[in-house]
Structure formats: C-alpha cells, structure tokens
Structure 1
Amino acid sequence: MNMSTLYELKEEHEALMNMLYDEEVDEQTVFDTLEGIEGEIEEKADNYAKIMKLLSADTEALKNEEDRLKRRRETLENNIDRMKRRLYETMKETGKAKFKTQLFSFSIVKNGGKQPLKLDVVDVSEIPSEYLIPQPPKPDNDAIRKALEEQELTWAHLEPRGEHLTIR
C-alpha cells in the first residue's frame, strides 16, 4: 500500500471539507473522494467520525442561529401587530375610519374571504348529516401493535426493526 504524505492527506482533507460545504457537489462525488483517500477501514471510520463531528458542530451552530433569527423575526412581527392594532383602535375611537397623509392612505375596511362561522353545538351528532364530511376510517396502529403482541393477525404483521450506526 502506498502511504500518502502528510501534506497530501492534508490537501485531500481540505478538498473533501470544501466539497461537503458546497451545495453544487453531488453525493456520489463526495463518496468517491472519501473512498479515494488511502487507509484501512478503521482509519477511514475514524476520519468519517471526525468529519461528522465537525459537520454536526456546524449544524448545531446553524440551528441556534436559525432559532435566534426566528425569535428576532417574531419580535418584529409582534411589534408590527401591536402598532397596527393600536392605530386601528385609535382610528375607531376618533371616528376617523379613512384619511390620507402625504405618504400613506389609511382606512378601516371589512375583511374579505368567507364570512366567519361559529357552530353553536358541542356534539357533532346534532348537525344534520348533509352538513358533515364523511371520512374513511383510519387504522389505530398502536392498538394493532398491542394485538400483535398477544395473537397473530392475518391482515397485519410487525416488520423487523431497522438498524443504524452509532459513534460515541
């Protein structure tokens, strides 16, 4: 086996990392590059694990940033809603339902779309059938699993569990 120099391994590693972050590079190219890096299965497995750890850390950082940006966006949306609600209330209180300024036009208008509907009954059986949408029954998977623990069923069976790789 031809042992790569440290410099070659570093270059291969950098090229691989660049590919993993490049959305344009297809999956097969990445795996072909991974397979081309020299080493025994144990060494390759270690390298895979190291790369996955790096990618996982970046993924976690991105998730945290997404959460932070989502909270920021929601704060801004809530501020807009509060300001709009306050302006609406002030216009209603002052009786000014419509006016223009040099920059904007303001008016209170009825909502479009379907008129809101509120059912005055609690029990659906009180509504005549012509106003109900028939729905096909759905299987209760939990009840079926429980039944399969006690007996065989001709119309259902449990599949073998899948397996996955863990790295600790």
Structure 2
Amino acid sequence: MLTMRTLLLDSTFFPVRIINWQKAMILLLTGRAEVVTEYDDKKIRSTSQSFSLPKILRLYNRHNTQRQVKFTRLNVYLRDDYTCQYCTKSFAFKELTFDHVIPVSKGGKTTWKNIVTCCKKCNSKKGAKTLKESGFQLMKPPKKPGWSATMCLRIKENDPSEWFMWLPN
C-alpha cells in the first residue's frame, strides 16, 4: 500500500499542508491544482490511464492559508524545545508533561500563555501551586508561537528533499 505524501502549496507558492496521495490525485484530476514536481518512480494506474504521483502541488484558486499554530501537546513541546521550563533540562517526549503556570484550581486556563513544558519530577513538586508558592521560576514566559513549518507541516525524515526549498526559514 502506498503511503506517499504530497506538499500542497497555495496559489502564491506558500506551503499550506501535507496531504495523502489520494487527496492529491483528487485535487489534480478535478482541476483545482497543478503539479510542481512529481515522483519519478511512483505511478497510479487505472484501466485506461497512468499518472505519476505528485510530490508538490500548487492550488489554482486563492486558499485561505491558516498561518496559526494549533494548540497541541507536541506543539507546546516543540515551542519549548523539549526542555522543562523549571529545571531547564531537556527530555524525550515520553518523559514530559505540560504544566498550567496558574493552576486550573486557581482559575488558570489551558492556553498558550499558561501552559509550559515540564518534566514529571518538577510537575509533581509544583502540583497545584502558583510559581510563588512553589518557589519555581520559569525559564521564559510562555507565549503563542508564530507559524513554523516544523509545527504546522510535520515534515518527516524520509520526505522529499525538494520540499525544503519551499519552506520559509
């Protein structure tokens, strides 16, 4: 089974998202996108036609590109570089949690500005205390990150090298 992915660009050549090959073929065959580059060795065949799978597609119509980062656990960890914001040590994904700077029990919300990456040991020590009550200090104040290819596109190690020339720095 094919697990090929396609980088989708908007009409201005800005990366929008990564889509599966089925969605790419639908956009292509319905005339909503054009091929920028294709896989040389990957073909889709019907009873009467053969198509190369697109590596990169560009949408013809203007696309309302959402240039905001979704609030997810992984994106919090990426924003904080997998580093506990209290003890400043780096950890693997499975060794981390996230912490409400202002605890939920004290009115804290689950937002970019109130959540930080935290190791399990520090999270256990802090518990439902405020920073002042716990004696902890933040490495840096939490904030909503700007759009980045790393957070929004989820590029994998085995994705085509051509994709990287389309990604903003």
Higher helix share: 1
Q: TM-score by structure 1 length?
A: 0.17
Higher strand share: 2
Q: TM-score by structure 2 length?
A: 0.17
